[in-house]
Structure 1
């Protein structure tokens, strides 16, 4: 049922999230009610694109894709940075009934080809400003959105006729109900394919909008890449569905040097990022943050990796806004929990908040629910949870059990339903039978004065099986040294948790999603 004009308008009694069915109708309410309102701010000249313009571009792309022989339920790849081309390509494909698989432009050619082949995509759309034509075994069509300084906008898509469809086991599992296929952000050679239906997308967007009460008065800057759920659902889709505005940075990538100028240009009211980016902004705040000239923020959001409490407090002091931690996975269509807005509930340091439109359960090793305060595996159930993995029945059976998503994360719920995460099951270090969470040790290390980042990993040991290793990055100009950091650890950790090996390094490796690349850390330092 349709809702009143702006689906995200607040009233004195109750916030109403946008009512959408999926990606295809994401813009429809805004086009009818607020066609001239700005949807995107794009290019280095920061040109505004209205909802009406964005919808017209998407419809143009949809028609061209249909003329090329693509049919509802077919899969297409999308290789773009955070540009107008990504948004127009995604929404155009959705309006044509296609299933879109966003792909990281930085992936090696072999991995891109493997993902396109495994999915059974019929074609790939790519942004010529990001890369040359990808070497993939299907037609690769260049997509370009031309925007003049006066706001005149056209789209060019060189979509030749498709050849015969070479289906795969994965593509055979897709249908018109599906909107997206996202690849898990792991660093393994074979990323898992997660199909997300339009219903999954709609539920996720509604939950995010409701949690933060996003509306037409809100704006943000796209910090996180759109080819992962964090940037796609939290920043882009939720903003567009609620009638807000998203500024796409020049060249489609986050830049710490232009971030605050972008925030002011957008009139941003919030933004979302991973802890690594929050650390960068905090580190540069003395010279970059505009102080009283900064746009007033309702909140700042952090997701996709643990944020230590010392950084959270420092961010709140610097930005003058509450820092809300959230938690989710690709398999849960991004967000599963979040800290509430301050007027909607208390903030609890170290927590990732309460469930947002899903049910969260903590389960012990035998599959029994744990009481409040007891650690176990985090399970999630609800309308955002995917049905399984494509072409991987064995892994689907392990991860999706009776409608529940087994996240592989360890955590505990308190009596008020707030979730605290304590680590990943597969990351636990076994030191002579003592199970050590590297995430907990990292959190303590990050609280040491002078430490900017930390990574903890197992070190092989002939007696204990594994010992604790750690590498840290210290803040520029700070005198924190190895012995000082170890003394801090001894004061704040159990003796068996204190790193046996600790090294100060210049930088840590991160995945494209912005999380710590643990495989790279282990390979580099764990031998």
Structure 2
């Protein structure tokens, strides 16, 4: 699908290979070549901050952290939303050769403390605007004061380092490490993934090359920066390629202001999870202003059903590219290409981007084309393992291969289609059922907005299939109509034994369906 664009925009946006080795020098090329170009647009007044200003703020923070006694390789917690404070804290820590660990500010205090202790964090940087309550942990408040003229200053008064004797997990870190990201668990036991500067650089190279990002591109930060999707794809890839990122007011996505933000920054693309794409599509008749010349849209972190993908493309006039990745692979592993660079294939998450992907059987042998197996990933973006969890590392990272736990198939041209997750499979009397497949069928039913499929205990079959379905507002589709639609498209054993119409579904902070919450709510 072609998207109209001015020749001048195309020239300014011509992709150039990156010159970054990690987070440390992420801004250097832009500061050298385009110091006064927009890097961020911040606050409710949408004030632009240049690359020169952003680098100066990061250097200021780096100096203060070093003066406080922090040394290269020390772990630092970073609590904040998508604000200038988060970005400056992250880049400042990187320039001081510290290892930044972004944390979700909405986590309960016991979980925050447990994660910081497990990390062995020596300090915590806190964006005070991330919470209306008192700081949940002993932290160093970080504030960035921005003027309407685009100047800015840092307010940060470090205290005494919290952990003079570094705990064991932090001993596994060094100045080669850039980040520790927590997997999208809803408990304090979420796994810790250390990513080196080399992992980061390889990931950004892959993302920018896939979408040909350059100085003429701009986007709005939709996904939270404390997870890989928002951090790598929206923030870091944009800054590495010389583009611009608008940070929404109060640092959180708002459907009500999204298109105004997109227009204000002349955005050329955005990335989001399917749930947010669904929200934008549902509200488009009332809120989409039209005339937004998007180069592409991107979807990642959860399956997007084909019917929604095509509706988004028709409504917003741009191709929607599905991508696939994990925290353990520094976010992106595969993506659909830009239309002029390859085909868009129904149900596919594209081809490998800078990594090798295999689909293997239970014996670890590569499956033939079109045969389902577990997806394995190998390459420069793959983490070395988990911190302080040798047993899980040995199970997941084997001979350089990341065993993803995802099921999929490869076609003859190397396009990957995901079919489910091994641990999510429903066993109905020996028949293995992918809830993701059933959800995709349900979502294609006219009038259905969202669906979640879950196992129900059964004394005879072991498990049966349950479904919770959200119907679009104003549509009169009912339970029996939805089940008839399923019977025409699913095997008899895949058709939900129980189907409930519900007002909404629970999601994780990362934007994926919270399957544990679904089972707890509807699976009894």
TM-score by length of 1: 0.96
Corresponding residue for residue 478 of structure 2: 481
The aligned runs of 1:68-217 (5 Å cut-off) are: 68-131=68-131, 132-136=133-137, 139-217=138-216
Find the residue that maps to 2:238 and give its secondary structure.
helix
1:49 aligns with 2:49: yes
1:337 aligns with 2:338: no
Distance in 1 (CA, whole Å) between partners of 2:322 and 2:246 is: 22
Per mean C-alpha deviation after superposition, the further-off stretch among 517-526 and 184-193 is 184-193
Aligned-pair CA distance for 1:19: 1.8
1:524 aligns with 2:524: no
Distance in 1 (CA, whole Å) between partners of 2:142 and 2:484 is: 56
> How many residues matched?
514
Distance in 2 (CA, whole Å) between partners of 1:307 and 1:152 is: 41
Distance in 2 (CA, whole Å) between partners of 1:11 and 1:235 is: 22
Distance in 2 (CA, whole Å) between partners of 1:189 and 1:142 is: 23
String of CA shifts for 1:98-118, please: whole Å, max 9, x gaps: 000000000000000000000
Note if contact 2:506-2:514 (Cα within 8 Å) is conserved in structure 1: yes
String of CA shifts for 1:220-270, please: whole Å, max 9, x gaps: 000000000000000000000000000000000000000000000010000
Per mean C-alpha deviation after superposition, the further-off stretch among 147-156 and 358-367 is 147-156
Note if contact 1:187-1:519 (Cα within 8 Å) is conserved in structure 2: no
Aligned-pair CA distance for 1:188: 4.2
Find the residue that maps to 1:215 and give its secondary structure.
coil
Note if contact 1:430-1:465 (Cα within 8 Å) is conserved in structure 2: yes
String of CA shifts for 1:134-169, please: whole Å, max 9, x gaps: 333xx4100000111122211101212325523222
Find the residue that maps to 1:71 and give its secondary structure.
coil
String of CA shifts for 1:396-445, please: whole Å, max 9, x gaps: 00000000000000000000000000000000000000000000000000
1:66 aligns with 2:66: yes
Aligned-pair CA distance for 1:518: 0.1
Find the residue that maps to 1:217 and give its secondary structure.
coil
Distance in 1 (CA, whole Å) between partners of 2:136 and 2:515 is: 29
Per mean C-alpha deviation after superposition, the further-off stretch among 354-363 and 188-197 is 188-197
1:352 aligns with 2:353: no
Distance in 1 (CA, whole Å) between partners of 2:485 and 2:515 is: 24
Corresponding residue for residue 248 of structure 1: 247
Distance in 2 (CA, whole Å) between partners of 1:524 and 1:127 is: 34
> Would you identify which runs of 4 or more consecutive aligned residues in structure 1 move more than 4 Å?
9-12
Corresponding residue for residue 4 of structure 1: none
Distance in 1 (CA, whole Å) between partners of 2:99 and 2:355 is: 24
1:498 aligns with 2:498: no
Find the residue that maps to 2:121 and give its secondary structure.
coil
TM-score by length of 2: 0.97
The aligned runs of 1:354-373 (5 Å cut-off) are: 354-373=351-370
Aligned-pair CA distance for 1:17: 2.3
String of CA shifts for 1:48-74, please: whole Å, max 9, x gaps: 000000000000000000011100000
Structure 2 unpaired stretches of 5+: 1-8
Structure 1 vs Structure 2 CA RMSD: 1.3
